[in-house]
Every structure is written in structure tokens, then in C-alpha cells.
Structure 1
Amino acid sequence: MSSKSLSPAEIISKALSDPEEYKRMAAGEDAHWSKTLSDPDRAGKRKKGQQAARILKKNRDNFSVYSYLRNQKGKIKHGLVLGCGSGRAERTFLEKGVGESFHGIDIAAGAVETAKKVAAENNLPITYEVADLNDVILQKRKYDFVSAQNFLHHVVKLEHLFEQIWKSLKPNGYLYIDDFVGETQFQWSEKRLKITTEILELLPTKHRTDVILDRPVRQPHRPDPGKLCSPFEAIRSGEILPQISRWFNVKKQVLSGSIRYHVLPLGVLESYTENEDTKTIYEVLRYVDRLLVDEGVLPPSAAQILLSPKRPEDIG
């Protein structure tokens, strides 16, 4: 007889209250991503998807954080990259003329060692630290800019991390976020499931085949929250935007992703580059994706946001 699955709230509660459970989940997270990110076959397939995304100009509606920060005229000197991995983000900021030096933090020791090596070989003004972002303590009023991209949906202790980021920023500093903010642990709303299912049923097979995962795009459904690909996957993703609003003010933002997660995953994008007809289908789907968010039909699952820290007296 199988045991009853835990609800998302119960999983979060256990991770926050039981140190041993947290360690178990963290170990599973490390094992999953160490294997996934080191898979050369998957990396090759993702490159094809990324090339298709460039052809289709997938991110054309996003704002350039590089241009915005460069225009701050010397205000951005020292930056922090959280979830730095092997160091690509901070190296790119320097290449784009943003900041004079950076500090990177990640829990993955191997990735940090790679980042250190690249920085040393190229004499880059970047330092590194291995730390768990759920428990990290950041230096107060140290940074002009903090980057937090594509990892917040794996953070359990959001309250702690956002408070630390707020404390680490100078009063006129910036926080940049680009992340998944959809339903926690992929427990999609009925309306999102209905709309995405009906759209997928209209598409031909070639646009419903994910070449990265090597399988058909799955029928939208709510997975068992205790059996996701990694233990911290989307652990509190639905709380990211509300938690941000307590500590920060929005300067610029792009919210999207009403249907994109299910209908336009990276693994299907190559199928839309074949000819003008397939590109037109892609354009219609992009339009629908943004329209459903802009008109309030569905909440976003993707957010690109530049923020500034609130004054202490304005924090609720």
C-alpha cells in the first residue's frame, strides 16, 4: 500500500522545520543537477533549441538590463551574482560594461572552482564563495547591483534570502531577477490546464515533440509534488512575486508565460523555424501568451524584473 503523497505546503513545512529532511532534499537536488548539467547529449540538444530561440527572437520583448545599468553613469561598481554556477553571468556583465568587479556565490563547489579558474586565467576582477543560498549571510550595504537569475524557484527560505539581498544593497542599488514564477511545485490552476490543453490539441505532431526530452510534449497536468525531477523544483515559485514586493520597488518588468511553459518549451522551438508558415504559427502563439497575461486571464509564469530596495520605513 503506497503512502499518501504530501501536499506542497507539507513539503515546504518539512523542509523549513526538519534539518534532516532539508539535508536529504539538498543532497537530491545536488545529485540531480550534477547529472543533468554534465550530460553532453542533453547539452547538445539544448544548444539547438537555444539557436532556434535566437532565430525566432524569443526574448525580443525583454528589456536589456545591460543597457539600463550602463546608463546609470558610474553608479554600478561592485556587483553580486547569486547562483553564479560556472560564472557566465558575471563575466557577461563585465563584457557588457556593467560594473567594475563582481562576487559570485553558488552551492555547487565544482562549478565555483571552474568559475575561479576562468576568472584567474583571464585576470578578471571576480571573487567567489561556496554557500547555500537558503542560509547565506551577505555583507551589509556592500553592492550596487545583485543578479538573481534562474534559481529563485529552487529556494525554500525566500524570506531570509530577500531580506539578505535587501540588506546587502546600497540604498540606490538594483536587484535583477529573471525566473520562473508560476504555480508552486507545478500545481497548475484549472484555467491554465484547460487553456493549454486545448491549444496543444490544435497543433500538429511536429510542434508537440520535445527533442530535448526525446518524447511528445506531455498533456498538461499537476504532477505529484513529492516526485518532481529535483526536490526543490519550483518549491515556492508561486510566492516569489509577493515576497519581492515586501522588500523592493519595481523599476522595469516584463511578465509573460501564460501558456509558454507547456506549449513552447525549448525542445519544440526548432520545429517552428522550418519556413514562414511555421514561424507565423509561432508568432500567433507568442501573441496569445502575452495577451492572456496582459488581460489578466492567466497569471505569468515568467518574470524579468529590475528592482530597487525600499526604504526601511516602507517595508511592511
Structure 2
Amino acid sequence: MTKETSLVSVGDFLDVYYKVKQKGFLQLASLFNLSKNKRVSAKWNQYQSSSDFWIIPALQQHWNTLISGNPEVSYESYVVQKYFHNKTNLSLLSIGCGEGKHERKFAVSGLFSKVIGVDISKDRIERAKQSAIENNLKIDYLAGDFHQMNFNNESFDLILFDSSLHHFNDINGFLKNEISPLLKTEGILVANEFCGPNRLQWKKEQLDFANDLLKELPKKYKTLIDGKSVKRKVYRPGLIRMLLVDPSEAPDSARLKNALQNNFKVLEEKKLGWNILHILLKGIAHNFLKNDEETNQLLAYLINKEEEFVERVGEADSIFGVYQKSGLK
């Protein structure tokens, strides 16, 4: 039987090496002296999305097309138009909001009288507050552990998870006991989420497929952010490093989709892929930001190959879904 988890991998040592070059040893080592929650907070305080695949405009447009049918219509606009177009005085709670761009996209619709964003990172919340002020939007951003927050029996028309739900333990119990009570009857939950292997323990067939594609890429597209090093292989991250750096990363992600389906009525659910491009483009995504013919053709080829893979295995590592709290539940 093929081993589908790794305690330690070669990729761990390479990742630490490049992070020490980028951030310095003392800053990296300081993370390991913190408690679990403080390590999570510190990780996201320092986080910069400089070369993750979701920064690539062509991929964002691809996901927009899968969700809304239009590469120029984001999922936020799609949800507002489809589910809230004739409503006003709405309330929104976004959990794990980061720097707040998704809440701002909902807030500009003018349909929401209450918008709250919550994140464990104080630094990211401060940046979210500043952006809301600059855009003249009334959004309440709160820093802290969501489990420790008291919303005083408030209820919301919309609860949003964007790449945050997969950071929670026991997702089924979390949705049932903490999230469903916060939704109004017939309120909706929107999830734009990673639902792949727990702790990012990629399956061998994913790694093999991604590595085959990596070999095909021209060298200039495999250069890491330092401009000198070259990505030569995709590795499964080791569990030890995962737990040390960010204990919240994907502890129960493999059960995320079933948990949503168990607790809510599914209004729509769409596969977004991520099986291959997530791991293939990590660390080299900055090379794909140019809007030229070569880059666009290469991205179209990679998207097509991932779709072939998803079709073959029958499952995606990322979904967009809209779910409703039913009065019958």
C-alpha cells in the first residue's frame, strides 16, 4: 500500500532554507516558542501572499467562470445578484477574514447594514480596518479567537468562509454547534474553501502528476521568489513541520464538504480544482503574472490538465458552495 502521509520530507528542509534566507533565522525560530494559538496568529501576522497560485489573475478569472459563468464577475457579486438582489438591511459575518477584501466586496453593494469580519491576526485586522476607512465603508473588524467571541445571540443573513473553514477542528461539530445557531432561518452560508487531504498530505498520484507537469515548464517559470533558485520537485509537507508552523492548517479538511452537506441544505456546489495547480505553482506563481501570449497559453494548458485530473479522480480539492439553514433541520 502506498504511504499517503509523511512525518518529514525533503521539501521541509528546502522550505526552511528558503524562509531563513527570506526572513532570517531568529524570526523563524521565534515561532516555535509560542503557544498553539500564538503560533497561528504569528504565522498569519507575517504572511505575505507573494507567490501563491491564487494571486494569478488568469486563475481568478477561471474560478469566476466556474462559479458565475463570467470571468469578470466575482463570487461576491454573483452571490449578491442571485440571492440578495431584492433585499436590504442585511447582516454579514465573515470568519477568518484576513485583510478584509471579501467583506468590502459585499459591503459596496449597499445591501448590508451590518458587516463584521473576524480574524486571529491582529496585524491583518488592522490592515482591514485601514482599507475600510480608505474606501469609506462601515465594517466592524475584530481580532481574536472566534471560539472565544460572544455575539450575544445575534443572527446573520450571510456567514462567509473564504479559505478559513478548513482551519477549524471537527468541522461538523463546529458548523452544528457554533455556526448554525448564528444563521437566521433560511440564512445562507457561503464557502470558498480547500477541502483536500488533511494537513496537506497530497496523494501520490497528485504529486506524480504535478511533478510531470513541473518538468515540462520552461526554466524561467520555475524560478523562486529570490530570482536565483529553481523549483525542481513538488513534495508532500511533513506533518511535524505542519504542526510546528501552523497547527490550524487543514486538520479536518477532508471532511469539510460532507460537514457542510450534513448541516445545511445545498443550494449549489461547484468544483474549483486545486488538486494540481495548488502544489505545482506554490512558490513560483509570481512568474505567471504577465499577460502575454506565452504565459496565457501555458496557464490555459495547466488549467486544462488539472481539469482532466479532476475529471479522472472524480473529486476536487477546492469547492465553492452556497448552503442554506433550513427551518426543517
TM-score w.r.t. the length of structure 2 is: 0.73
TM-aligned CA distance change 1:56 to 1:280, over 3 Å:
farther
Q: CA deviation at 1:168?
A: 1.0
In structure 1, C-alpha distance between the alignment counterparts of 2:190 and 2:308, rounded to whole Å: 24
Amino acid at match of 1:236: D
Q: CA deviation at 1:269?
A: 5.3
In structure 1, C-alpha distance between the alignment counterparts of 2:102 and 2:295, rounded to whole Å: 32
Match runs of 1:3-82 below 5 Å: 24-37=35-48, 45=50, 50=55, 52-54=56-58, 57-59=61-63, 60-63=65-68, 64-71=75-82, 72=84, 73-74=86-87, 77-82=90-95
Match runs of 1:260-299 below 5 Å: 260-265=277-282, 267-268=284-285, 270-271=287-288, 273=290, 275-293=292-310, 295-297=311-313, 299=315
Identify the residue that residue 187 of structure 1 maps to in structure 2.
201
- Preserved contact between residue 206 and residue 271 of structure 1 (Cα < 8 Å): no
TM-aligned CA distance change 1:88 to 1:272, over 3 Å:
closer
Q: CA deviation at 1:32?
A: 2.0
Match runs of 1:152-163 below 5 Å: 152-163=165-176
Please, which runs of 5 or more residues in structure 1 have no aligned partner?
7-22, 38-42
RMSD of aligned residue pairs (Cα, Å): 3.4
TM-aligned CA distance change 1:200 to 1:119, over 3 Å:
closer
Cα deviations by residue, 1:20-69 (Å, 9 ceiling, x for unpaired)? xxx822221122222234xxxxx6x459983x525983433332332332
TM-aligned CA distance change 1:123 to 1:287, over 3 Å:
closer
Residue 251 of structure 1: SS of its match in structure 2?
strand
Please, which runs of 5 or more residues in structure 2 have no aligned partner?
1-5, 9-33, 69-74
In structure 2, C-alpha distance between the alignment counterparts of 1:27 and 1:97, rounded to whole Å: 36
How many correspondences in the alignment?
A: 287
Cα deviations by residue, 1:225-250 (Å, 9 ceiling, x for unpaired)? 12124222222222211221211222
- Preserved contact between residue 272 and residue 279 of structure 1 (Cα < 8 Å): no
In structure 1, C-alpha distance between the alignment counterparts of 2:134 and 2:295, rounded to whole Å: 44
Residue 306 of structure 1: SS of its match in structure 2?
strand
Cα deviations by residue, 1:181-239 (Å, 9 ceiling, x for unpaired)? 21111211122122222222222222323337974335233221121242222222222
Amino acid at match of 2:210: T
TM-score w.r.t. the length of structure 1 is: 0.76
Residue 112 of structure 2: SS of its match in structure 1?
coil
Matched, 1:91 2:104: yes
In structure 2, C-alpha distance between the alignment counterparts of 1:74 and 1:179, rounded to whole Å: 26
Amino acid at match of 2:274: G
Matched, 1:165 2:179: yes
Identify the residue that residue 14 of structure 2 maps to in structure 1.
none
